[in-house]
Structure 1
Amino acid sequence: MTSLDSRERIDAYPTHHIAGYGVRAGHPLPFGATLVPGGINFSVYSDRATRMWLVLFEPGAREPLAELEFPPSFRIGSVYAMTVFGLEAESLEYGFRAEGPFAPERGDRFDVSKVLTDPYARMISGRDEWGTVPDRDRPCPYRSRLVLDDFDWGDDAPLRIPAEDLVVYELHVRGFTRHPSSGVSAPGTYAGLREKIPYLKDLGVNCVELMPVFEFDEHDNPRSHPVTGEPLLDYWGYNTIGFFSPKAGYAATGRFGMQADEFKTLVKELHAAGIEVILDVVFNHTAEGNERGPTISFRGLDNATYYMLTPAGDYYNFSGTGNTVNCNHPVVRDFVLGCLRHWVSQYHIDGFRFDLAAILDRAPDGTPLANPPLLEQLAHDPVLRHCKLIAEAWDAAGLYEVGTFPAYGRWAEWNGKYRDTVRRFLKSDAGTVAELATRLAGSPDLYTGRGATASVNFVTAHDGFTLHDLVAYNDKHNEANGEGNADGANDNNSWNGGAEGPTDDPEILRLRMRQMKNALAILLTSQGVPMLLAGDEIARTQLGNNNTYCQDNELSWLDWSLRDTHAELHRFARSLITFRRAHPALRSAAHSPDGISWHGVRAWEPDWSPESRLLALMRSTEGEQIYVAMNAHWEAHDLQLPRPESGTTWHLVADTAAASPYDFREPGDEAPLTVPDSYRIATRSTVILLARA
């Protein structure tokens, strides 16, 4: 009897010959290109196309090697599927050509002259090295490729760090090591970031949130620098071309087609260092823009399925970038789910932050849904079960859902209200103390029933001022972006301390340093998940530019020499993270009003009046008490302290007004107070005390 392994596979032989290749009817699922016995299975969805071709290229060749039309019998439902034999997966590029009606008023924009990128392409060629100008005239400038699943992950497994224990560090892969001062062997790459893992581990962060790493075209920006005339780029990468493909221009090995392995190696080594990886993902819009944009993929395959369209066939623009993805269409929901499953299973990603996530709960006509199926499906998907899901809970069309985002017991949110409240308090705005207390306690007004870890707390992020610029500029200075300083947010809640931008005034410089320490101290002693912007711990500046999306230069790159220039701030940030990690009272996932007491200048008497600019709180859990006082007043105050537990006295941990190194005491070296029941808090400063025997 012949064993099963020795039997010849019938499906490994062609039934048809097209354009010189042996083919047979393919499998409709999975979509994209998949290795099968003897060949490659190609599957693509289009509900409205009338004909479809598979277009094959030799790597780098301008013209196609062959075009294979899908026979009608190879179509199952709205899926064209064909297995092609005799192809070498590693030396093949491909795309699709779709024929159908061009009737924009009905939502159809087929163009049979275009060779289209596979939406499910695991790798894309054409952007192999950062900054090279694309040849947009060649057929299919962004060509699809296969990736062999042969990476050795060893024993790598998800870290599953509890959300309350996270300290998130948002960074741009290129900008983190591109500056000449980085000292890495491959600046601006995944490999370069790998060399900085010891720095991240020493700082104490245990989660990196990477700005977009899905394939995009950095030349997708028509503007030039208004002074130099140099082309400006899409540096941030929020215009996705390939949702399943890692950015080749971020790989030192991208020109060799090894970007997938290089990125996997980065993830593996971050995990080995105890650091999770969250990806910033952009499902709300694509690089195809509005009707004047290029036809790359979705538009040419099935415009009416993939995009939200008005009754007249125009693009809804809830993203502010020209188009809006129709995320709650069943086909698009499956696409998003398949993409995230791909990154979790193939790249071991630990979580996702969703850009303009409010769009994900809009119906095809733009109406917010009470029970959006995509968000529910992502929350309960078995493959994504242990992933962190974080929403930027607003969009560019005014839908603001901080605290009301449909969470299904799983979603956390960037807490924009936390950011705004802390910023207003730091610059001594009236009427902020009461709301500040709510934000410090994990925003129970927003996340009742969800817990404090639903709140991702931040003072700064990539979108807006850096921490240094928040205390050095009253106004944005985006002239270099070529938009007449009209881009970027105007409501920055910033204060320059007495001079706009660079200054030699020692008093102003001391105030700015103290204000940066205040922001970090408040952030890292708040309930919720703290997120730092890369470089804030060493006072990185963008010279007042609060929207550096187009600046691939020293304005955006992290200058590593600042680690020496601002060693005082780096030490303070590092010590704060260590302190947070050592004290569970600061990391409670539950909203526990019994564990927090509020105080003012006098113990147990907080001042909630609009004129108040001082707030203190004491966190008490079994075995530890921590007291934090925050003074945004321009006057010093003598604080009456609450009495700690019997047998303990207050010890000084941190005082942002003290000169370094006395601004933060190392663990075990906290200083007992000279007067046990009082402390003089300086103007615009923060004090942290710990009850010790």
Structure 2
Amino acid sequence: MKAFEGTMMIHQPLPALSNSTKLLLFAPTFSHKLCRSFSAASPAHEMGLRLSKKASSGNTPRHFNKTSSSVKHTTPSAYNQPTQERVLEEESPRVSETTLPLKTSQGQAFPIGVSEVENGINFAIFSQHATAVTLCLSLPKREKLDWQDGGMIELPLDPRVNKTGDIWHICIEDLPRSEVLYGYRVDGPRDWHQGHRFDSSIVLIDPYAKLVEGRRHFGDASAKLSKFLGTYEFESLPFDWGDNYKLPNIPEKDLVIYEMNVRAFTGDESSGLDPEIRGSYLGLIQKIPHLLELGINAVELLPVFEFDEMEFQRRRNPRDHMVNTWGYSTINFFSPMSRYAAGGGGPLKASWEFKEMVKALHGAGIEVILDVVYNHTNEADDANPYTTSFRGIDNKVYYMVDGTGQLLNYAGCGNTLNCNHPVVMELILDSLRHWVVEYHVDGFRFDLASVLCRGTDGSPLNAPPLIRAIAKDAILSRCKIIAEPWDCRGLYLVGKFPNWDRWAEWNGKYRDDLRKFIKGDPGMKGILATRISGSSDLYR
């Protein structure tokens, strides 16, 4: 949590089934939003495919005759906005001449997320308490289906066939290898007092999505209500890190860290950069000579995981005029912030340019440390929820709740990620490994790291499983791991953060006492000397 700006001292302690069914894409003639199920028989199982289309003018799909019937529908809008119930005159569709075949099979439970397998694209998502899961797709170059306007293909998963343990899965053959947007509708128990928050009206982001699509330009007020969906890319060649590329591998004791916000660093015209690259990963590359002049050898980037900078403007509140620039409000833990791509290039370009930035910084001998927020997410609290992913997929697993099903709030932001639950712990570890393997980052600074030291009921743990797992993980072994050792409910662990001889700390007392000295508070000379010489009262 960025409660203060100032100088910090980091202290390091001393030493599958193959049967398939063909699914057809139907285009109904109605123009309001509704969902209809269509089934195709299969020797293995029966699966429906639905197409949902939100109201639009002048874009009514064609190719259907009409058979009128009156059906009552509840018509919800996304992100927990008030719903309206109305009677709609619905037309029974028939198959058009331009059907799109989607051949599916059972799929496999692992890896979680989206993966390319021998016979197609596999989708897998965890939900322990869900009773129904529907995969929603928006295919490229289908001009009649505007995903931001609700037009998506829907594939309900059969729990008898498309579920292994708590993993729901499906494989789709002949699906494009890129430019497909996807999400999930998830339903389950509606008992809030048991900790559940299921709402099948919302299309949710896959927690393991490696790329997230939303609005393209940072702070674009005309798109402030944009939805976010996962996407994937299996067509591009691997990023070329270069034959002479090497990691800086700077010893921790020699680090001189410059903390920065990627967008704010070059966002102003005073940066002298072309407007297309201001506030972007590429813009930061242009300022490497300046960083070298400062004498630093590491940058610590404020959050660069996907977040919604317009979240305050989605409802009336005292901050509804503000844009969230800092980014401590994570939507997804695997995808780089897409609106830091130059020129509104989108998530794939953001991923590519992030790697270009890391490569350039490493080439200059500068390490890259990420400020990461695994203590809470953007989804807020029960009073003003902003459901985009975890809350709707399995709230009781992903978040800490008390005995009455209410969200616990140790992060000061309405919810607390259930970090030491085995499933959530594995998600966090997979995320960290992804940033090391895919993006070559050198370390992490953990926001409100004391939250990661709490059990599933919120009680402090002496030997937190997640903290130990991070310290002992082979892939993370080369990384700097730095804790902000406190949270918003009093678990202050400065000088006593469980470390396994691996974790460093932000020395909050160094910052606080240096500020007091500069302010002229009395009696600070001796304390300042203690802080500058290594805080022997805290670290022995």
TM-score grouping bracket, smaller chain normalisation = 0.7 to 0.9
SS of the equivalent of 2:123 reads strand
Q: Within 2, Cα distance between the matches of 1:283 and 1:192?
A: 27
For 1:354, the equivalent position in structure 2 comes to: 446
Q: Within 1, Cα distance between the matches of 2:402 and 2:18?
A: 47
1:543-582 alignment, distance < 5 Å? none
Q: Within 2, Cα distance between the matches of 1:339 and 1:437?
A: 40
Q: Within 2, Cα distance between the matches of 1:326 and 1:163?
A: 30
Shift of 1:408: 1.1
1:331-480 alignment, distance < 5 Å? 331-448=423-540
Assess if the C-alpha contact under 8 Å between 1:307 and 1:324 holds in 2. Answer: yes
Q: Within 2, Cα distance between the matches of 1:12 and 1:311?
A: 41
CA deviation vs aligned residue, 1:57-91 (integer Å, no higher than 9, x gap)? 13553334411122222211000111111111322
For 2:360, the equivalent position in structure 1 comes to: 269
Assess if the C-alpha contact under 8 Å between 2:133 and 2:186 holds in 1. Answer: yes
Q: Which amino acid is 2:465 matched to?
A: P
Q: How well do the aligned residues superpose, as a CA RMSD in angstroms?
A: 2.1
1:126-525 alignment, distance < 5 Å? 126-133=214-221, 141-148=227-234, 150-155=238-243, 156-185=245-274, 186-222=277-313, 231-256=321-346, 257-291=348-382, 292-448=384-540
For 1:88, the equivalent position in structure 2 comes to: 176
For 2:201, the equivalent position in structure 1 comes to: 113
Decide whether aligned partners of structure 1 residues 254 and 339 sit closer, same or farther in structure 2, where only a CA change above 3 A counts. farther
CA deviation vs aligned residue, 1:576-623 (integer Å, no higher than 9, x gap)? xxxxxxxxxxxxxxxxxxxxxxxxxxxxxxxxxxxxxxxxxxxxxxxx
For 2:165, the equivalent position in structure 1 comes to: 77
Shift of 1:152: 1.1
Highest RCO, 1 vs 2 (Cα 8 Å, sep ≥ 6): 2
Unpaired stretches in structure 1, ≥5 consecutive residues: 1-10, 449-693
Shift of 1:13: 6.7
SS of the equivalent of 1:53 reads strand
Assess if the C-alpha contact under 8 Å between 1:39 and 1:86 holds in 2. Answer: yes
SS of the equivalent of 1:384 reads helix
CA deviation vs aligned residue, 1:393-429 (integer Å, no higher than 9, x gap)? 1111121111111111111111110011222222332
Shift of 1:217: 0.6
Q: Within 1, Cα distance between the matches of 2:465 and 2:320?
A: 45
Q: Which amino acid is 2:263 matched to?
A: R
Q: Which amino acid is 1:68 matched to?
A: L
SS of the equivalent of 1:364 reads coil
Shift of 1:16: 2.9
4+ residue stretches of structure 1 with deviation over 4 A? Answer: 11-14, 134-138, 222-226
Q: Within 1, Cα distance between the matches of 2:225 and 2:533?
A: 56
Q: Within 1, Cα distance between the matches of 2:217 and 2:240?
A: 25
Q: Within 2, Cα distance between the matches of 1:147 and 1:201?
A: 35
CA deviation vs aligned residue, 1:637-665 (integer Å, no higher than 9, x gap)? xxxxxxxxxxxxxxxxxxxxxxxxxxxxx
1:612-631 alignment, distance < 5 Å? none
Assess if the C-alpha contact under 8 Å between 1:48 and 1:100 holds in 2. Answer: yes
CA deviation vs aligned residue, 1:139-159 (integer Å, no higher than 9, x gap)? xx1110113462111243332
Shift of 1:17: 3.1
CA deviation vs aligned residue, 1:340-372 (integer Å, no higher than 9, x gap)? 000000000100011111100011111110110
2:121 is aligned with 1:40: yes
If the length of structure 1 is used for normalisation, what is the TM-score? 0.60
Number of residue pairs matched? 434
Q: Within 2, Cα distance between the matches of 1:230 and 1:76?
A: 43
For 1:546, the equivalent position in structure 2 comes to: none
CA deviation vs aligned residue, 1:16-66 (integer Å, no higher than 9, x gap)? 334342111222122111112242110100000011111101355333441
Q: Within 1, Cα distance between the matches of 2:17 and 2:361?
A: 41
Q: Within 2, Cα distance between the matches of 1:248 and 1:338?
A: 20
Q: Within 2, Cα distance between the matches of 1:408 and 1:254?
A: 43
Assess if the C-alpha contact under 8 Å between 1:14 and 1:85 holds in 2. Answer: no
Decide whether aligned partners of structure 1 residues 225 and 269 sit closer, same or farther in structure 2, where only a CA change above 3 A counts. farther
2:22 is aligned with 1:22: no
Q: Within 2, Cα distance between the matches of 1:249 and 1:379?
A: 32
Assess if the C-alpha contact under 8 Å between 1:55 and 1:64 holds in 2. Answer: no
